[in-house]
A and B are shown apart, each in its own frame.
Chain A
Amino acid sequence: KQEVTQIPAALSVPEGENLVLNCSFTDSAIYNLQWFRQDPGKGLTSLLLIQSSQREQTSGRLNASLDKSSGRSTLYIAASQPGDSATYLCAAYSNSGYALNFGKGTSLLVTP
């Protein structure tokens, strides 16, 4: 089974800083990888989906990279804002294709 690990578990940064969230996965035969944001008590908002053939995807201030050979993905957030405070979840599709295997998330706090 695909195991997904996210480091750090929690992160606090001052507003304006650029930051990187890390995600690692055990099975390099990954299909796709998806990053989500979850606000407390809410559902998941899809941020970026990286296809296995891609190395990165960008959306606004967010950039996600994928390195299958090392089993790693990173989510880069530029010029962080207090509104970015949330839990960020990384989820990898195994090659079976149907199951999203989630990491435990990184809880981000951006302070004014």
Chain B
Amino acid sequence: DTEVTQTPKHLVMGMTNKKSLKCEQHMGHRAMYWYKQKAKKPPELMFVYSYEKLSINESVPSRFSPECPNSSLLNLHLHALQPEDSALYLCASSHVIGGNEQYFGPGTRLTVT
């Protein structure tokens, strides 16, 4: 099973809302990633977790708060977002950090109104 699942598929939220994105994998991978992808642009790395610890934060604004409660789950908590944060949010996982093949989920399409 090489599947990464993400929920919800679509999310519309106001600028004052608090919401969370969820990502799950059962491949035993110990590295998990959040990417942001704007229309017709390549994905941009946001965060990297390795063995449930935050390893990389690519200078992401604090209104995005990641969490890795266990080795299979990755959350992205959203608060006070701006309309320009509307994008496709992709989760990925790999065996470990270090150039291993990354497997992506289907993404959550986020619209901030």
Mark B residues whose CB is within 8 Å of A.
4, 6, 31, 41-43, 45, 48, 55-56, 88, 90, 92, 97-107, 109
Knowing A43-B90, A98-B48, A98-B97, the reply to whether A104 touches B41 (Cβ < 8 A) is yes
Mark A residues whose CB is within 8 Å of B.
31-32, 34, 36, 41-46, 49, 52, 89, 91, 93, 97-100, 102-105
Instruction: Assess whether B98 is in contact with A97, with CB atoms less than 8 Å apart.
Output: yes
Instruction: Assess whether A44 is in contact with B104, with CB atoms less than 8 Å apart.
Output: yes
Residues in A neighbouring B55, C-beta threshold 8 A = 98
Instruction: Assess whether B42 is in contact with A45, with CB atoms less than 8 Å apart.
Output: no
10 example contacts (A-B, Cβ-Cβ < 8 A) are as follows A32-B100, A32-B101, A34-B102, A36-B104, A41-B88, A43-B4, A43-B105, A97-B97, A100-B43, A100-B102
Instruction: Assess whether A93 is in contact with B99, with CB atoms less than 8 Å apart.
Output: yes
Taking the closest CB of chain A, its distance from the CB of B90, in whole angstroms, is 6
Q: How far apart sit A41 and B99, CA to CA, in the bound complex (Å)? A: 26
B90 contacts which of A34, A44, A52, A104 (Cβ < 8 Å)? A44
Instruction: Assess whether A46 is in contact with B103, with CB atoms less than 8 Å apart.
Output: yes
Residues in B neighbouring A91, C-beta threshold 8 A = 42
Taking the closest CB of chain A, its distance from the CB of B101, in whole angstroms, is 4
Instruction: Assess whether B42 is in contact with A89, with CB atoms less than 8 Å apart.
Output: yes
